Chains A and B, each alone.
Chain A
């Protein structure tokens, strides 16, 4: 595996997202999968069934937390109460790292519940870097930022998406959750070369990879996570593994979710790419 300080030198292999429809079957059968990724916000609760299920699964598998509401690109900074609840959950899951998206999503306490794109500007870099550093200080865990799929580009942008991502992770000394499906989706929507994007990244910072399916809606591709991974994304994934080494990989399937066996079969397709690469430990910066 590409073990590095951003994934706490973990040697995790193939994981899938922990989704409520699969929970009874997972607990009953303990399927062959290396780890589960949980959406942090689904378990940032005081009690009840979600936490009971989480504890059961955590008794058998490593859990990695992936968030959707930190909004590291928010111009007004992070929500302290949210951060504290997130930290509380990390103690429960013992997640080796925490990830969220390179996006914004709230203003003055009003929350969009969407992963909204940022303009690629120096101001946005400074703001996002400061927010990620604060998250790292609070959480006391490696923070890993995921590249977004997007459908819009701003007049204000002064650099490419990959330049923006590089400046943010270098400035914040953060890891990358490399979502190869998101690169593919954005490359089609915005007309850039996804392989060029991949090659420009600091590969030693890639802590984790996401693969997923998407849908076409007219002229755009939407990141729906409701299909198997397409061949073009598997090819991009193969290149990512060549560049980054064997990296913990997770299959996302979040809508029209099929039975657990179908999701696992899709996830295990990643193994043939992973096993072709030697184990290595990489040191960034």
Chain B
């Protein structure tokens, strides 16, 4: 290598090599499928350009230690954050998705906790090596959205909660650890199941798409998922959008058919529960 290569150029070369897909023995140590494209030449080219050999290792072998470490670490992080998605897709399709995602969305955060945040946006664009059905993809997308919300709620902030009496007078926001999700498939049920037998998977696959309204929130140090009626969800969304109790209720009331008779009598109960859980804070 030219001895005067600027430091930035050296770092750009090396990072580019690390981001190349795994191949050879490094790849066989993962659940990634073999690549029909074969090994990338970038790693060995960069290694020869930048690195010296040691007594026992060629430059490419030395760089490969970092290359595999880069991928192992990121793949492990995604596996940890999306266990239900992996159960649904199966190991091969999940790792295929994970590799494609990491190639398209390398980490931009100082922490691996944020690594999967863009997975729901990427998932519909992913070309699976072994095509999955449209239903599988749609179900997977809802699962990914749920598992991202769980990660976000886990580490989100908590502001001083408002007392019930203050709701009418203040600008209101939801606590950062309260996440609202409207999803088409019963992925919350699947997420709760630690194992997914083929019979159970079949039952999920027969589920009809219809909207489910979910709240993902933190209670103490635990993250929980709860289904709520459509009207309750709509009120929380309106509160999030308007920041005002009265305006939120007005907005919801103007949607034809949204507030049913039984809902109107339950609004006070919903608010009591939400206030007791400390879900509202100053906006």
Contact = CB atoms under 8 A, between A and B. Distances in A.
Interface of A: 41, 44-50, 52, 69, 74-76, 79, 82, 85, 104, 106-114, 116, 118-119, 121, 123-124, 127, 151-156, 158, 189-191, 219-220, 222
A86 to B, nearest CB: 9
A107 B8 contact: yes
B101 interface: no
Contact of B51 (A50, A74, A111, A154): A154
The residue among B1, B15, B112, B154 with the most chain A CB atoms within 10 A of its own CB is B15
A113 B3 contact: no
Contacts of B70: 112-114
Interface of B: 1, 3, 5-8, 10-12, 14-15, 18-19, 50-52, 54-57, 59, 62-63, 65-66, 69-70, 73-74, 77, 106-113, 153-158, 176-177, 218, 221
A152 B63 contact: yes
B282 to A, nearest CB: 16
Most buried by A among B11, B62, B107: B11
Contacts of B65: 151-152, 220, 222
A48 B66 contact: no
A131 to B, nearest CB: 11
Contact of B106 (A46, A82, A85, A110): A110
A152 B51 CA distance: 7
A6 B77 CA distance: 34
A191 B6 CA distance: 27
Contacts of B11: 74-75, 104, 107, 116
A79 B1 CA distance: 29
B107 A111 contact: yes
Contacts of A190: 54
A155 B1 contact: yes
Contacts of B176: 46-47
Contacts of A47: 155-158, 176-177, 218
Nearest to B18: A112
Contacts of A82: 110
Contacts of A79: 110
B110 A41 contact: yes
Contacts of B10: 75, 119, 154, 156
A123 B15 contact: no
A46 B66 contact: no
B65 to A, nearest CB: 4
Contacts of B52: 153-155
B110 A111 contact: yes
27 contacts: A47-B156, A47-B157, A47-B218, A48-B156, A69-B110, A75-B7, A75-B10, A104-B11, A107-B8, A107-B12, A107-B15, A111-B108, A111-B110, A112-B18, A112-B107, A113-B77, A123-B6, A124-B7, A151-B62, A151-B65, A151-B66, A152-B51, A153-B62, A155-B51, A155-B52, A156-B5, A190-B54
A113 B15 contact: no
B121 to A, nearest CB: 18
Given A124-B7, A154-B50, A156-B10, A69 B57 contact: no
A112 B177 CA distance: 28
B15 A49 contact: no
Given A123-B7, A154-B10, A220-B56, 10 more contacts: A48-B155, A48-B156, A48-B218, A79-B110, A110-B107, A112-B18, A112-B70, A153-B52, A189-B54, A191-B54
Nearest to A157: B52
B110 to A, nearest CB: 4
B51 A153 contact: yes
A50 B151 CA distance: 13
A109 B108 contact: yes
Nearest to A110: B106
Greatest chain A CB density within 10 A among B54, B70, B157 is at: B54
Nearest to B176: A46
Nearest to A151: B65
Contacts of B74: 113
Contacts of B112: 113
A113 B55 CA distance: 28
A191 B62 contact: no
Contacts of A220: 56-57, 65
A174 B181 CA distance: 48
A44 B10 CA distance: 30
A119 B69 CA distance: 19
B223 to A, nearest CB: 8
Nearest to A219: B56
The 8 lowest CB-CB distance pairs between A and B, nearest first, are A46-B157, A49-B221, A75-B8, A219-B56, A45-B155, A69-B110, A75-B7, A155-B1
Given A47-B155, A119-B10, A155 B107 contact: no
A48 B154 contact: yes
B76 to A, nearest CB: 10
A125 to B, nearest CB: 10
Nearest to B154: A48
A220 B62 CA distance: 9
